[in-house]
Amino acid sequence: MRGMENAQNPSNVGFMKMHGAGNDFVIIDSRGRAAVVTAAMARALGDRNRGVGFDQLAEIRDSDVADFALDFWNSDGSRAGACGNATRCVCDFIMQELGRDAVSLVTERGQLQAVRLADGRVSVNMGHPQRDWAEVPLARAVDTLHLPLAGDPAAVGMGNPHCIFFVPDAEAVDVAALGPALEHDPLYPQRTNVEFASLVGSDHLRMRVWERGAGVTLACGSGTCATVVAAHLRGLTGRSVTVDVDGGVLQVDWRDDGVWLTGPVAHVFDGVLTPAFLAAL
């Protein structure tokens, strides 16, 4: 399925639909050819009524230093710097293709590693968290563990910026109402993902999320990682934490070599974009 068998016919673009804990993706394999995804294509494909629909789009590219490279797009056509659940999904696909249980990949975060566990879940190293205000990035120097915003959120970067609120009950939060304004808060010059998390047990969190450029989603891999980092730094949890998201359960382990994200993956279907759809972009 390399290049979705369309390298010689750019008028047809193949794709996969995948999800990780309900966080859903369109995957386009552009190995062996030039990248095909544009902002206009991402917006059109991301439309759940007129396109395919997704939280993020991932484009697989060739790499000289790893098994493959990945680029990410949000459903509004903006670029994403990281996407943990999409990364896990693509890694599962590549591992099956190569007949291996481990692969390396390159994203904006650098070179990363992923493995498939005995139970079928896929685990990826999302890299080290970005904790300095300039790395997140924020607009000015502030205490990233206690932002000067109502609700006392924390800021953590995981390739994407995150604004994490610890609340008594994440279920009670109106994420759709609060998310848009927080995404565009001036403190975050590149906008931000917004997480609401509550402690439900020892090293066990419940988290809900508003994603930058996508809205409310059932899960967010980089957001889950950022939330666990912030929870540990605030003394709420250890470094290995189970996180219940709207679409399932994810596991985060903050190790010396980076933050590892583990969870289920699913390959739903394959399709081909028609020449008429592509011509209308």
Quote the CA–CA distance of 57 and 7 in Å, as a whole number. 19
- Strand stretches in the chain, DSSP E: 13-20, 23-29, 56-61, 68-74, 79-80, 102-107, 110-116, 122-125, 154-157, 161-166, 193-201, 204-211, 215-217, 240-245, 248-255, 258-263, 266-273
Q: How far is CA 252 from CA 122, 188, 242, in A?
A: 12, 25, 6
Choice among 83, 89, 163, 225 that is catalytic: 83
Active site residue 83: yes
Rg (CA), the chain: 18
Quote the CA–CA distance of 149 and 177 in Å, as a whole number. 17
Please report which helix (H) or strand (E) contains residue 183, including its range.
Answer: helix 175-183
Query: Residue 64 corresponds to which tokens in the numbers above?
Result: 């000289």
227 touches 216 (CB < 8 A): no
Closest CA to 108 of 70, 77, 161, 62: 70
Choice among 91, 163, 220, 225 that is catalytic: 220
Active site residue 220: yes
Place of tokens 């991932």: 58
Quote the CA–CA distance of 194 and 209 in Å, as a whole number. 6
Residues labelled catalytic? 83, 220
